[in-house]
A and B are shown apart, each in its own frame.
Chain A
Amino acid sequence: MLSYLNKIADNFGPLGKKGIVSFERLGRSALFLLRVFQSIPFVFLRPWLFIQQLYSVGVLTIIIIFVAGTFVGMVLGLQGYNILVRFNSESSLGTMVGLTLVRELGPVVTALLFAGRAGSALTAELGLMKTTDQFSALEMMAVDPFKRVIAPRFLAGFFSMPLLAAIFSAVGIYGGYYVGVYLLGVDDGAYWAQMQKSVDFHEDFMNGVWKSIVFGFVATWIALFEGYDSVPTSEGIGRATTQSVVNASLAVLALNFILTALMLETS
């Protein structure tokens, strides 16, 4: 009987250990976020730290957002036209492209691309700083790495995401316009007029903005924490970078469902 129980314990032991490790990490990530919040006022005293990061996190991501937005918009134009033309309502293409981009694809695809480009770069940078003792060196120079390194990056990610999502949606709408109006012959005026009539600023546009703010917060938090908490070896940095992209992407997709449900409930 005892040996039977031991066998069960052997099987469940590692599971329990994994659970404890996961909860410990969750706790550390919450404490990490708390220290980031405490360090944010310092960034306002040294705004150039924030501006530098805004460039590397935000500006350098624009090109990928621009290209992806164009193609996503073009595909939406193509698919939308082919569906709408069956019901003789291709003039509503503007509505479809606009709503899809502003409410869903703009924030979500931008967040996924952001996690892949800027998030992975942030994780790898922080992981490398940890591996090469740069955080310890800052501490020993009486400089708080949270104030000097982490908080400016967090703010840059937080502010970049809504702007990048807006660029994605704008470019996507022009992509849809190009395919729908120029290539497939949808009426120019109808494309814009239908979009203007049916996309509501508060209901649709602001919902997209709120989503991108939440995604920016979560994706940047995960990227920075994974880098800061990485095992300081080359293998550890590799694993942290992968985890950063995977966890941020899954978090964005799951949160998107929750936020959409909440927004539809309250609208």
Chain B
Amino acid sequence: MSNLIEIRGLSFNHGFRVIFDNVDLDIERGKITAIMGPSGTGKTTLLKLISAQLTPRSGKVLVEGQNIHDLGQADLYEMRKRMGMLFQSGALLTDLNVFENVAYPLREHTTLDERMIRYLVLIKLHAVGLRGAAQLMPSELSGGMARRVALARAIVLDPMMIMYDEPFSGQDPISMGVLIKLIKTMNDNMDLTSIIVSHDVKEVSAIADYIYIISNGRIMEQGTPPALEETTSAWARQFLKGLPDGPVHFHYPAPDYNTDLFETE
């Protein structure tokens, strides 16, 4: 089976607001798939639906052929041990230092001795370039470093897939370059499947194998980065090129300008 994840007919509401309306989407095994779209379109919600942190109104999310929302807590947790997730903030446990944060999943889910835990944690920290920061507390890390520690923690159990939530937002050019390189090399060297949620077109296009662009609860466009360069969709073109006006208007819907300015009651 070449698809690790298959989403079929997914619908999700947030209160009365429709976030997803009958969405179909495939994540191919061993590839980097990007989910892109403007802010507030539910990209992070999609990751939460894939990892069953949220339950859809209807539809299925098949992970390795199993509908993840049909699993009981024990089976779901077994599945999650094989899923890594990198949160936008890093979400490190603030009362533990860097070493203990990365060691945390090992201590919770394995019976490895201390020597082996140290060995594994240092390997993962070395992979993200932060072996020297093992004894620092999360409050002593920059945003980029916190994300790299969170990445080391996400891969410490050698998962089959990893989900990145806005990995590039708020990063300086060096941190951004480091993260892009890490995501690509980890995906290729560790036999991972990666899902990146982002709106950073240039960075994502550089490493993604396939891109979905979502907006208004549905998939607006999809394809490989070169194919999307040639897209004929005016909406996708506006998004990818970052044009200020187009199908998505610069102005929020409002009454006529002159009427608004000069009409008095």
- Chain A residues within 8 Å of B, Cβ to Cβ: 128-129, 132-134, 136-144
Of B82-90, B177-185, B192-200, B218-226, the one contacting chain A is B82-90
B81 within 8 A of A: yes
Contacts of B89 in A (CB 8 A): 132-133
DSSP majority for the A interface?
Answer: helix
Mind listing 13 A-B residue pairs with CB under 8 Å? A133-B91, A134-B93, A134-B94, A136-B48, A136-B87, A137-B87, A137-B91, A140-B53, A141-B81, A141-B104, A142-B78, A142-B81, A144-B77
Q: Which residue of A lies closest to B165 (CB)?
A: A133
Q: Which residue of A lies closest to B80 (CB)?
A: A142
- Besides the known contacts A140-B83, A140-B85, 19 further A-B residue pairs in the complex with CB atoms under 8 A apart: A132-B89, A133-B87, A134-B92, A134-B93, A136-B53, A136-B85, A136-B87, A137-B85, A137-B91, A138-B93, A141-B80, A141-B104, A141-B108, A142-B77, A142-B78, A142-B109, A143-B105, A143-B108, A144-B73
Contacts of A143 in B (CB 8 A): 104-105, 108
Q: How far, in angstroms, from A129 to B89 measured CA to CA in the complex?
A: 12
Task: Verify B93–A137 contact, CB threshold 8 A.
Answer: yes
Q: How far, in angstroms, from A132 to B89 measured CA to CA in the complex?
A: 7
DSSP majority for the B interface?
Answer: mixed
Q: How far, in angstroms, from A138 to B87 measured CA to CA in the complex?
A: 11
Contacts of B94 in A (CB 8 A): 128-129, 132, 134
Task: Verify B91–A134 contact, CB threshold 8 A.
Answer: yes
- Chain B residues within 8 Å of A, Cβ to Cβ: 48, 51, 53, 73, 77-78, 80-81, 83-85, 87-89, 91-94, 104-105, 108-109, 150, 153
Q: How far, in angstroms, from A129 to B92 measured CA to CA in the complex?
A: 10
Chain A nearest CB from B201 CB (Å) reads 25
Q: How far, in angstroms, from A98 to B118 measured CA to CA in the complex?
A: 56
Of B51, B78, B93, B109, which one neighbours A140 at CB under 8 angstroms? B51
Contacts of B109 in A (CB 8 A): 142
Q: How far, in angstroms, from A137 to B87 measured CA to CA in the complex?
A: 8
Q: Which residue of A lies closest to B82 (CB)?
A: A142
Q: How far, in angstroms, from A136 to B91 measured CA to CA in the complex?
A: 8
Contacts of A129 in B (CB 8 A): 94
Which of A132, A133, A134, A137 has the largest count of B CB atoms less than 10 A from its CB? A137
Chain B nearest CB from A227 CB (Å) reads 14
Chain B nearest CB from A216 CB (Å) reads 24
Q: Which residue of B lies closest to A149 (CB)?
A: B93
Of B48, B78, B88, B105, which one neighbours A141 at CB under 8 angstroms? B105
Q: How far, in angstroms, from A141 to B79 measured CA to CA in the complex?
A: 10
Q: Which residue of B lies closest to A52 (CB)?
A: B95
Q: How far, in angstroms, from A117 to B167 measured CA to CA in the complex?
A: 38
Contacts of B153 in A (CB 8 A): 141
Chain B nearest CB from A150 CB (Å) reads 14
Pairs of residues from A and B, 3 with the lowest C-beta to C-beta distance, nearest first = A137-B91, A133-B91, A142-B77
